[in-house]
Every structure is written in C-alpha cells, then in structure tokens.
Chains A and B, each alone.
Chain A
Amino acid sequence: MGVAVLLKQVPDTTAKISISGGRVDEASITKWSISPYDEYALENAIKLKESGFGDVVAITCGPSRSAKCLTEAAAVGADRLIHIISESPLDSIQVQSLLSAAVKESGCDVVMCGKQAADTNSGSTGPGLAASLGFSCVGGATEVSMDGGVASATRLGPSGMEEVEVGVPCVFTFDKGDSELRRPNVRGIMMAKKKPIDIFAPDDLGVDVSNSMVSIKSHSSPPEKQPGQKFVGSDSIPEVVSKLREEANVI
C-alpha cells in the first residue's frame, strides 16, 4: 500500500528557451520546476495520505539537479524520496523501465503523475508505465479518493466530465483540477532538507540505457514571424477582414 508520485523537473514555464549548437541550451535556463501537472498529482497523493492511505513515495528520473523536486515534495509531506540518476536523454521504453523498477521497489500499488510534462508534452509515461506494470490506468483525472481497494476518480472522458471507479493497482495521470496546491511551511522546508534521498543508477535497477531507439538530431528555434501589418481602431476591421480572405486566404 502507498502512493508513488512521479515528478519530472522541467524548465519553468516562464523560461526562455535558447538554442546553441543545435541543442537546447540548458545552461541558460535559470529556473527549473516540478512540471505543473505533476504538482496536481503530488497534491492528490498527499490528500490520499491524509485520508489514511499509506505513505507517499516521490520518484524522479533525471540528472542531479532534479533532486530539488524531491526535496520540494518532502516539504509538503512526501515520506520517501527516490532519485533515479540519468544524465542522458532516454526513450519512452527506457524511462518506463526505470520507473517501473522503482515503483516495484517502493511497493506502492497506486501511481500518480501528470498527464504530460511541460517539456516534451508527450504524455507517454503514465499509460506506458501502467502497461509495463500490469496496472489499470485512468488518464486526465482531477480528483481521486480511495475506499478500501477501490478508487473513485473524476476524469475528463470522451463524453465529458465523469466519475469512474477502478480497483488498485492503478496509475492515475492528472489534469489541472480545482485542487488548491499547498505551499510548504518553514518547518516542512527545514525537515525536507534533512530527508535522505535513495539514489539509484539505471544499473542498480537492472535497466540498460546505453542504446536509445530514439535519437535527437537537432533542436531549432521556431521560425521568426515576419513583422505584421498594424491597424488602429475598429474602422480598420473591414480592411483586415478582406485581407484575411484575399491575402491570407484563410476565410
């Protein structure tokens, strides 16, 4: 029993991304944060713990700097911290193999993470991890509560917001909901600094990360927009509308 919450460290969403030598220049990124959807997963994991459902184990996979996510999670109530150290880019199978091994190690039967991370916006980890662990999966959840071995979740399904029930073990991926994210208090921050982090290398988890099936060829900046035409006042709208048809050919 227990909840594993997966946290990914990403450049803060306000960060400018610059390219140097065909790669994103990570050194120029000054602020790194827990990916926003993962924060909702963390909040819900802490709420589950408060309702009596076992410990919260925070897990991150990434370079040394990502340890900060774990300390932040500890400051709001995570009980155990696991850092899988990985310095190089990984493909989805490698990420899921590492996380799967860590979840098994934690003994948790509920996994929570964001529906996608704010860097690649892929959304592969939650459902992929569920498949590799043999867990059920509920995506796009905004709230999860637990009664015995059965979870009740609110999710955005194909036909709208709905309430679903699912047994554990299960992976929940989170969308932004109405939950207010808690902020750590001073005592939490002090305690978190002292909290030990269990560090695993991919080798320790029996996962080979030497051969990625996806390799990055290049990063580039999006094409700069040409300076546009500017008009003043609503009187110009008829001219703009005719340009949308004649020049841009979009209406």
Chain B
Amino acid sequence: MNITIISESSNGSLHSVTAQLVGAASSLGGSITVICPGGIGSSDAANISGVTKVISVEGDCFENYDCSAWSESLSPLAEGDLLLSSSSAIGRELISSIAASKGIPVVQDVTSLTGGLLATRSIYSGKAIEEVSISPPCAISLRANSFESAGEGGSGEVSTVNVSQDVAVAVKQALAKASERLDVSEADIIISGGRGMGEPANFSHLNEVADLLGAAVGASRAAVDTWEEIPHSMQVGQTGKTVTPNLYIAVGISGAIQHLAGMRSSKFILAINKDPEAPIFGVADYGVVSTWEEALPVLKEQLAEMLSN
C-alpha cells in the first residue's frame, strides 16, 4: 500500500504526532511519503524510521493558514491508496478538503487501524465505539497518542516543491495569543477543574500542578459556561474535546454524562471531590473525598517531592 502522510507542525517545527502517524502507517506496510506543508520539519521527518520519501512543499501561501489554498497546493502531491493526517483542528480540515477534491471518503479521529482497513473511533464523544471498514483509496485522520511512534534513524529522500497558490483568507489582526499551555487533546496528563473550583482565579492552583507534571489544564462544561475567563478550548466532554490521556485528574467536577463521555477512556482517572456521591467517582480509579482547598496543596507538595527525587 502506498501511504501519504500530511505532517503536523507546531511553532515552526515538526510536531511529535507525525512520528505516530508514521508508526501507524508502518504497521500497514508499504511505502510512506510525508508531505510537509510550508516545508516545516522536513529534515526531521526524513529522519523518522520507515519514511521512504519527504516532500517539502514551500510557497507564500503557507505564511498563514488558509484551508483551501493549502489543500489545493498539497492535493496534487498527495498520491497513493491511503492519506493520513493527525486529527488536530487543522489536520481534520486539510484532510477533509483534500479528500473531497480527490473524491475519496474521509474517516476522522481514528484510534486504531489495521490492514484491510478496519478502523475504530469513538462516537457520541466516547459514549459508544464504532468499527468501520473502509475501501481505499481513502483518507483517515488519527488521534494523537493512540499509536506508537516510529523511532528515529530513517533516511527518507527529501525533495522540495515550490507552489504559488492564491490565498483567499487574509489575516487582518491577531486578537489574542494562543495559550502557551499544552492543549488537552495532545496531553499525556490532564488536570481539569469544574465549578467546584469556586472561581476562575482558583484555576491557578491547577496550573501549578500541571506545571509540575507537564500536564494540560482542562475544564468541565459547567466551568466554561459559568466563567468567561475559562475558554471553550479547555472544555473536555461532549461539545468540547474527547480525551484519552494516561492520567486524568478531575478536581471539583461532579461528573455530568457529557463530561464522563469525553474523558472516561483515559487510562487512569483520579477524582478529587468533596461530595462522596459525585458520579465522577463511578469512573475514577482513585477517588479522594476532599475539598480542593485541602487536597491540592498536599498534592502539589507530594508531586514536587516525588519528581525531585
């Protein structure tokens, strides 16, 4: 099978999810071409084990994100039976657009993929799991942290293609900088707060724990709806993000059905809530009945001590 991967970048370098896409492709067998939009990270991509070829696509249109312009530039280069991308916001948009222009179907946010093309994904934000069979040629986006990364030490051949594509979307002004924090959809560890945190300023305590762990900070829908300081991009659950980290720490979150749907597939769940009857304890591997005011300082102290050893 000939597989083409659209690489993912962040802050001007190759995003680590790209090696996971290569890992998933390698398990299917065949040749692997990685396309790097804007040429970002092409030498790092060539260094991923299993990569046959890297196409560094360069042009002015990659200065800002314009879905149609990027898709039209990349589409003619995206050959093969299977097209893969990450299921980030841009990954999903690009692969949908490229698939449509090629007249092939797309299946998004897949968490396991095997030969013959059987794919698994969660639907209803994790309330059910769907297995589908897909006939190539087709396009599939993969969820971050669901596939083993391919190692380093590859020697893919890099070629550069220059494109001159008209852009339709012009960025007029930046309104707010993206959070420097890791996004919940790509974190191994997430600590989320609910309305039980009392007020948005108290999320600073979650940030401190997150900094110790290299974790992302999330929030329940109740917290996002109540406080405008807590942006929707932090929301975990249905109408927010579905996440599957190794560790999910829920603080002051009671566990509404929409929230549970979005985080119950996490490998381990630690819940801290003062209400012993809170539904969140029904899915928690470790439940601590306590107020956050009492629990978080001890948690911080213990983690700092453990991680300094």
Contacts and interface: CB of A to CB of B under 8 A. Distances in A.
Interface string A125-158: 1111111100111111000000000001010111
Given A92-B106, A157-B64, A120 B268 contact: no
The 8 closest A-B pairs by CB, nearest first: A128-B100, A131-B100, A160-B178, A136-B168, A234-B294, A17-B127, A122-B108, A124-B96
27 contacts: A13-B238, A91-B105, A93-B100, A123-B89, A123-B96, A127-B71, A127-B96, A127-B97, A130-B97, A131-B97, A135-B68, A136-B169, A138-B169, A139-B67, A139-B89, A159-B174, A163-B172, A163-B173, A214-B133, A214-B135, A216-B132, A217-B132, A228-B284, A232-B288, A233-B290, A235-B298, A251-B307
B201 interface: no
Interface stretch (B53-61, B153-161, B239-247): B239-247
Contacts of A229: 285-287
Interface stretch (A59-67, A80-88, A165-173): A165-173
A218 interface: yes
A40 B259 CA distance: 21
A170 B170 CA distance: 13
Interface in B210-254: 213, 228, 232-233, 238-239, 242, 246-247
Contact of B265 (A166, A222, A232, A251): A222
Contacts of B189: 250-251
B257 interface: yes
A161 interface: yes
B28 interface: no
Interface in A210-251: 212-222, 225-226, 228-238, 240-245, 248, 250-251
A42 interface: no
A181 B302 CA distance: 45
Interface stretch (B16-24, B41-49, B116-124, B192-200): B116-124
B264 A222 contact: yes
A159 B122 contact: no
Contacts of A170: 168
Nearest to A211: B135
A240 B242 CA distance: 25
Interface of B: 10, 64-68, 71, 89-90, 92-94, 96-101, 103-109, 118, 121-135, 138, 168-178, 189, 213, 228, 232-233, 238-239, 242, 246-247, 257-258, 264-265, 267-270, 276, 281-291, 294-295, 297-299, 302-303, 306-307
A158 B169 CA distance: 14
A162 interface: yes
A127 B168 CA distance: 14
A233 B287 CA distance: 10
Contacts of A128: 96-97, 99-100, 106
A187 B298 CA distance: 58
A36 interface: yes
Nearest to B248: A250
Listed residue (B106, B213, B269) with the most chain A CB atoms within 10 angstroms of its CB: B106
Contact of A92 (B99, B131, B264, B303): B99
Contacts of A194: none
Contacts of A216: 130-132
B242 to A, nearest CB: 7
A216 B133 CA distance: 6
B162 to A, nearest CB: 22
